[in-house]
Structure 1
Amino acid sequence: MAERDRRWNLARAFMRREGLDALLVFGEHEDAGPAPFAYDTWFTNGRAGTTVLFHRDADPVALFPMEMFTKDHLESARRGDIIWIPPENIRASRDSRAIAEALNESALAQATIGVVGLEVYPPWHPEGIVPYRLWNTILQEFPSVRFEPVAMALSRLIMPLSPEEIAVVRHSASIGDDMVRAMVDTAAAGVSESEVYAAGMAAGYMRGTIPAAMHFWSGPDPLASGLPQWGYRPQSPRILQDGDTISAEVFSNFGGRHTQHQATITIGEPHEDLHRAAEVARAAYDACLQVLRPGRTFGEAVDALREPLRDAGGWEFGPCLHALNPMIALSGFAADASRRLAGARAYPPEADHPTLSGDLALEPGMTFALEPNYVFGRHLAYLGGTVIVGADEPIELNPYTAQILRAAEMPR
């Protein structure tokens, strides 16, 4: 409850400072996967996928998407869980009608309301998450309300985590390490990709959390990042072979706080180009740690990270640094480098990706996924994990994955 009071007081101070009478906070579906838009849970400490109306001078109202949320809330209360939103402040729907009723109940028909959900949220929501039909109805019904997008400003406010939240992040990071260790212990020539994937996910489940589906590719030289193909197409998982590399991005989520873990696992001796790429990626990792400190900016950390990459003779595969909890800052990279690959010119050209939120001032308690990557030939080294900005220097939570990992030598 102390954490609830800290967050709610922080939100009320933000509203007074910004001249807001209330916040209208949209949350994404609870099965959204990595980088979810889940600001609603910051206010509720509850199940993701709700809409929250937070009045500056009254307790928040949570609008649930369906009746099962109410039943879960009731069962949690019956079992003695600490509940932040009492039953009288719950509404059974979060459609435009329910939102309109909640605004009228709170006498906000002529207010100034900050909205979380209208702005860009990388990478999945380039123009916000609020449905057009819902929002158009609200604008028509409340012509006297001044709606202000505030997600970016609120994000910067909540990024520095409290000591209690940092403890949660540390625990999430330890779970992520266990997931990767289980994958390393399982991977071997003759083993199915799905068996390695299952071992990692099972380790997360056994530690008491429900991790998001990981990104996972394998092969002699995989150059991709995403869910394994057998997860969305009717085909069999690969059988690992000697000389393969597994490139995986593992997502751990404990108590609404997220950590990420980049795992490069080799079956047998790594290729020489993979060794070289890993050395460059590790140099970038170390360079970034020197700058990821209070008083610097996110853009400065990105510049330091990219310095070892610039003239190494290979190319960056994707972003090397991004914010967590929430994910509002993302390092840029050149898109045309990947067009060196055979067959790439058949696809539409991409523009270079700029760094987002480069002016973000680093503060103690902020969390980042430090995941430098580099490619020589077709060999991708993707390393790193979660780092917290400390009072003086960064706190590495996952040095285990900031290196190439070797799986079992003997085939099964």
Structure 2
Amino acid sequence: MTLSPTQRISTGLDTRPSVPVYSLAERDRRWNLARSFMEDEGLDALIVFGEGDAGPAPFAFDSWFTNDRPGVLLVFPRDRTPIALVPIPTFLFDHREAMHRGDELWLAATDLRLGRQSHQLVQTLKDLGLGNGAIGVMGLDPYLPAHPEGRIPYPFWHAVLNLLPGTDFRNVGHAFARLMMPLSEEEIAVMRHAARIGDAMAEAMVTTAAPGVSEADVYAAAMATAYRHGTLAPHIHFCSGPAPSASGQPAWGYRPQPPRILAEGDLIATEIFSYFGGRQTQHQAAIAIGEVHPMIEHVARIANECYAAGLATLRTGATFGEVSEAMLAPAEAVGAWLRGPQIHGLNPYGAFSRIPGGLIQAEGGDLYPIAAPRPATLADMTLEPGMSFAFEPSCGIGDHMVTLGGTVLVGEGDPIELNPLTAKLLRAG
């Protein structure tokens, strides 16, 4: 695999790049990786727990194996094709419709079973002669940030253990996720497409934002752009104001209140999650409306220094911890407070940089609990070409906080910035 840096591609709505698709060669690559893993670990099969929600941090290992609708319980014996236990009949209808259209599917109709309850999983394992085997499980290990104690529900797993007391179940989520991180050429093409969509969303927000415009109008412009480009379930964290510090869904999405009206001097703080073809890019779009507070300009420059430090360090053979510390250094040197990790892994999640913790230093921050410092996860992981990371350096001084960044791949030489557009403070108008 040969990777090289590329310039950002223009993303106007009149530009329709060809849509990348996965081949059966990509399916075989993934399935062979799984079979080799099972062979090396002495496993007879894998169980892969999937959830149907493709939110900001999707737990969608199942669709990596199936190239299909997420939310199935997958059983992958080492010596045969995977079996997908689907929750409801609409999954069967979807599969049948895809066959009727002539889509190139990775699983046959005979590879699907209806029902993904604990007793149905147990019956499937018994039917396959795996009732007393060694089985790796993906879903029991922590999966940050959404599932710090695993994803599989306790009643479900308790029932499986009681019904199969002779089975040797092993947690393999972290180990296998590590093998998934170096992306193939086909996956990188999908990532580039996701990044184009995310950049188009950011540009739509910049074009729409102005004093007197509703937050909802800016949000809608980005979402409409994403759907027009054919992406699945895009998400945006969104907050605006003269000194916004929140990072999550817009408050009017979960609390009955009107969207805020933008004003001169506002900063719109957003995080775009562009999700296409099972791969995700992230875009930290910070948008200034008119003349913002000088401290916003200052912390944005420091955040950009953190981003540049990450680019200078993200090299094949370096460790994730080395990159993490490099991206923390400019912010820590000025005593800044941080919103979250300066960098974390993508596709899948798992690697997170150290977070210093402490009090929120903005006005009123002393009223809230003190966040404990959190060490880096996978700090000793050696970087390989094709690994994808969310660069999201933040810098807060006093009341003013800015987060910048985008998605960056480890290259053969220099890192590959998929969306450098959002690595700087954007300006509306």
TM exceeding 0.5: yes
Aligned with 2:235 (options 209, 213, 217)? 213
Instruction: Please tell me whether the aligned partners of residues 359 and 368 of structure 2 are also in contact (alpha carbons under 8 angstroms).
Output: no
- Tell me, which stretches of 5 or more residues in structure 1 are unaligned? none
Question: What is aligned with 1:195?
Answer: 217
Distance 1:43 1:314 in 2: 42
Matches within 5 A, 1:78-117: 78-117=100-139
Question: What is aligned with 1:390?
Answer: 411
How far 1:361 moved relative to its partner?
1.1
Tell me if 1:342 matches 2:376. no
TM-score normalized by structure 1? 0.97
How far 1:106 moved relative to its partner?
0.8
Matches within 5 A, 1:131-170: 131-170=153-192
* Structure 1 counterpart of 2:411, one-letter code: G
Question: What is aligned with 1:265?
Answer: 287
Tell me the secondary structure at the aligned position of residue 46 of structure 2: strand
Q: Tell me: CA distance 1:393–1:337, structure 2 relative to 1, closer, same or farther (3 Å).
A: farther
How far 1:337 moved relative to its partner?
4.0
Aligned with 1:328 (options 324, 336, 350)? 350
Tell me the secondary structure at the aligned position of residue 206 of structure 2: helix
How far 1:97 moved relative to its partner?
1.4
Aligned with 2:40 (options 17, 24, 38)? 17
Distance 2:362 2:200 in 1: 34
How far 1:269 moved relative to its partner?
1.4
Distance 2:392 2:105 in 1: 36
How far 1:315 moved relative to its partner?
2.2
Instruction: Please tell me whether the aligned partners of residues 316 and 337 of structure 1 are also in contact (alpha carbons under 8 angstroms).
Output: no
Tell me if 1:64 matches 2:86. yes
Distance 2:102 2:365 in 1: 56
Backbone CA RMSD of aligned residues: 1.0
Tell me if 1:234 matches 2:234. no
Distance 2:332 2:258 in 1: 39
Distance 1:295 1:246 in 2: 37
How far 1:342 moved relative to its partner?
3.0
Distance 1:118 1:58 in 2: 24
* Number of residue equivalences: 406
**Any idea what the Cα deviations from partners look like across 1:277-311, whole Å, max 9, x if unmatched?**
01111111111111111101100100111121221
**Fraction of identical pairs, as percent:** 52
Instruction: Please tell me whether the aligned partners of residues 300 and 402 of structure 2 are also in contact (alpha carbons under 8 angstroms).
Output: yes
* Structure 1 counterpart of 2:60, one-letter code: A
* Structure 1 counterpart of 2:110, one-letter code: E
How far 1:351 moved relative to its partner?
1.0
Tell me the secondary structure at the aligned position of residue 285 of structure 2: strand
- Tell me, which stretches of 5 or more residues in structure 2 are unaligned? 1-23
How far 1:127 moved relative to its partner?
0.6
TM-score normalized by structure 2? 0.93
Distance 2:370 2:263 in 1: 34
Tell me the secondary structure at the aligned position of residue 290 of structure 1: helix
How far 1:353 moved relative to its partner?
1.8
Distance 1:223 1:55 in 2: 48
Tell me the secondary structure at the aligned position of residue 253 of structure 1: strand
Instruction: Please tell me whether the aligned partners of residues 201 and 211 of structure 1 are also in contact (alpha carbons under 8 angstroms).
Output: no
Tell me if 1:2 matches 2:28. no
How far 1:350 moved relative to its partner?
2.3
Instruction: Please tell me whether the aligned partners of residues 215 and 248 of structure 1 are also in contact (alpha carbons under 8 angstroms).
Output: yes
Distance 1:353 1:225 in 2: 18
How far 1:377 moved relative to its partner?
1.9
Distance 1:379 1:204 in 2: 30
4+ runs of 1 displaced by more than 4 Å? none
Instruction: Please tell me whether the aligned partners of residues 363 and 399 of structure 2 are also in contact (alpha carbons under 8 angstroms).
Output: no
Instruction: Please tell me whether the aligned partners of residues 390 and 406 of structure 2 are also in contact (alpha carbons under 8 angstroms).
Output: yes
